[in-house]
A and B are shown apart, each in its own frame.
Chain A
Amino acid sequence: MRELKEHYDIIVVGGGPAGLAAAVQAYDQGVKDVLIVERKDKLGGILNQCIHTGFGVQIFGEDLSGPEYADHYVQMAAERKIPVLCGATVLSINQDQSIVISGSGCGVKRITCKALVLSMGCRERSRGAVNIPGSRPSGIFTAGLAQRYINLEGYKMGKDVVILGSGDIGLIMARRLTLEGIHVRMVCELEPFTNGLTRNLVQCLEDFDIPLRLSHTVTMIHGKERLTGVTISRVDENKNPIPGTEELVPCDTLLLSVGLIPENELTLRAGIKIDPVTGGPLVNEHMQTSLPWVFACGNVVHVHDLVDYVTMESCRAATAAVTYIQGELPRFREEIPTEGADAVRYVVPQVITAGDDVEGDLTLYFRVKKPVTNAIIEVSCGDWVFYRSKKLKMIPGEMEQVLIKAELRDTFDAIYQENQTKGMLTVPDVFQLDKQRKGIVDTKLTVSVRSEDDR
């Protein structure tokens, strides 16, 4: 890149799909002075090793591979001549709107900005995070590391594999290893259901007759130098191994696909509020964190199922960052927390803004904890339900969303009766009405999912 400046209007931390989309969007919205800081020597993030297809159906209407999707945005950034600093890591985010970076090419430098976009993505949970007892032989890998070895470096990591975890990465690796002639004995899943997309379950496991053992986990690791086998056990409804169900499965490799953790050490040290459920920064509907000049998007906020949604979220974050710099982000009087109820595990944004200037549509994103059939989705404020829809089936593997129109058309009699104008209500209106009625301060926006079958 050209010489590193001491100031950029917007700095984007991380050059994966989220960071690339944010940088391109900020540029297109009129802030041309953007810098992308990337820790690796190449842009594109984890997409570079996701050689399977399934990316881009929402945005491009095409079924692309990971590298193709990444290259598309790398090229857009290049066409706009957006400067990219590769091989540099951000050491700190400081209260004076600066960051400190360290890199082999640039040394340690302090750079100031008007707005910062966090797009650092996720890290994999490892063996230590799931506490599997036993020895410490070689042959235990996270699924993403195995993916890197096979797809980028051309190494096979073993011959006979057990995979723990049926999230999408675990399923995709089961197929990938099988294609390369590696025997996949089984995929074990702690939950009584899979966490992956249905298409991956069918095309990665069923196509190759790979057994899926639900409600099973690895309870012992065997082997001295190299893994020789694992003990698997059935688990009860509290996910505790049931004594007497142990089964020794010989294998030389164990892949762990046991979840992703948003990578937020930087965020935490900056004093930015973190949602304990998502592990990501707490954001409002503008993807603005508790530090007003810092925005966040992509898997660093919450784990997405499709990269297309990461791109869309990043565009919203960048648009808000641009509006913030221009001093035009709506002033809000207060922030109202959102919460998930019943089967909802989390809701993003975690807070929404309210005030006289606040307007526009509001989209709430959420995931369910467990599969729900004949689901009723409700958004409510206190006991006022102002959004309701139904869905035949919801699964934890798929992110869900509800759109609340700015002119919230009130279909519920209760609000009609309260609101004499019989007109439209905006989202903040709903809160104001609710507060007047109840005289309470701790209003919340609740998203709930229940099954009609449970009634």
Chain B
Amino acid sequence: MKEVKEFVCITCPMGCRLSVEVEGEEILSVSGNSCKRGWEYARSEAVNPKRMLTTTVRVEGGDQPLVPVRSEVGVPKNSIMEYMDFLNAQRVQAPVVSHQVICELPGCGVKMIASTDIAAK
């Protein structure tokens, strides 16, 4: 079934209003973009939109109560709230070092990594 999806392009300050015609996973047409980058953005947004996920995870025995974490790569946008539930249930033992893998997200398998060091108390 044909479907038209609309987005605002974020690759530059122009903020072009993109219109993408899709059928399942197939892109039929992109309009509204001013450049090639806009076309590529429209394509990824229409088929599989991804976002970097950043949040915090509780630390046990650390000099700080939380460690900031981020996804190593973009994660599927539509599952972000489920990932948040999963991450809020996680605990990590201090010390934590920057870029340490805290956990893997269920389903997509993307690694969540620490953004900084947390020393033990």
**Closest chain A residue to B65 by CB distance?**
A154
Residues of A within 8 A of B77 (CB): 207
Q: Is B52 interfacial (CB-CB < 8 Å)? A: yes
Q: Compute how far the CA of A151 lies from the CA of B69 in the bound complex, rounded to whole angstroms.
A: 10
Partner of B15 from A70, A153, A393 at Cβ < 8 Å: A393
Find out whether the CB atom of A203 lies under 8 angstroms from the CB atom of B51: yes
For chain B, residues 59 to 116, give those with C-beta under 8 angstroms from any C-beta of chain A: 64-66, 68-70, 77, 80-81, 84, 88, 98, 115-116
- In the complex with contacts A65-B68, A68-B116, A202-B54 CB distance below 8 A: no
Interface size on B, residues (CB 8 A): 30
Residues of A within 8 A of B22 (CB): none
Residues of A within 8 A of B15 (CB): 198, 201, 393
Partner of A51 from B54, B64, B80, B117 at Cβ < 8 Å: B54
| Chain A: minimal CB distance from B62 (Å) | 11
Find out whether the CB atom of B8 lies under 8 angstroms from the CB atom of A198: yes
**Closest chain A residue to B45 by CB distance?**
A202
Partner of B8 from A151, A206, A392 at Cβ < 8 Å: A206
Chain A interface residues (CB < 8 Å from chain B): 48, 51-53, 63, 65-68, 70-71, 150-154, 179-181, 197-199, 201-203, 206-207, 392-395, 398
Beyond A65-B70, A154-B56, A198-B9, 20 extra complex contacts between A and B, CB < 8 Å:
A51-B70, A53-B54, A65-B115, A67-B68, A67-B115, A68-B116, A71-B117, A151-B66, A152-B64, A181-B84, A198-B10, A198-B12, A201-B15, A203-B51, A206-B8, A392-B14, A392-B34, A393-B13, A393-B14, A394-B13
In the complex, 30 of the A-B residue pairs with CB atoms within 8 angstroms, ordered by the A residue number, are: A51-B55, A51-B68, A65-B54, A65-B70, A66-B68, A66-B115, A67-B116, A150-B56, A151-B66, A151-B68, A152-B64, A152-B66, A153-B65, A153-B66, A154-B56, A154-B58, A179-B81, A180-B55, A198-B8, A198-B12, A198-B13, A201-B8, A201-B15, A203-B10, A207-B77, A392-B14, A392-B34, A393-B14, A394-B13, A395-B13
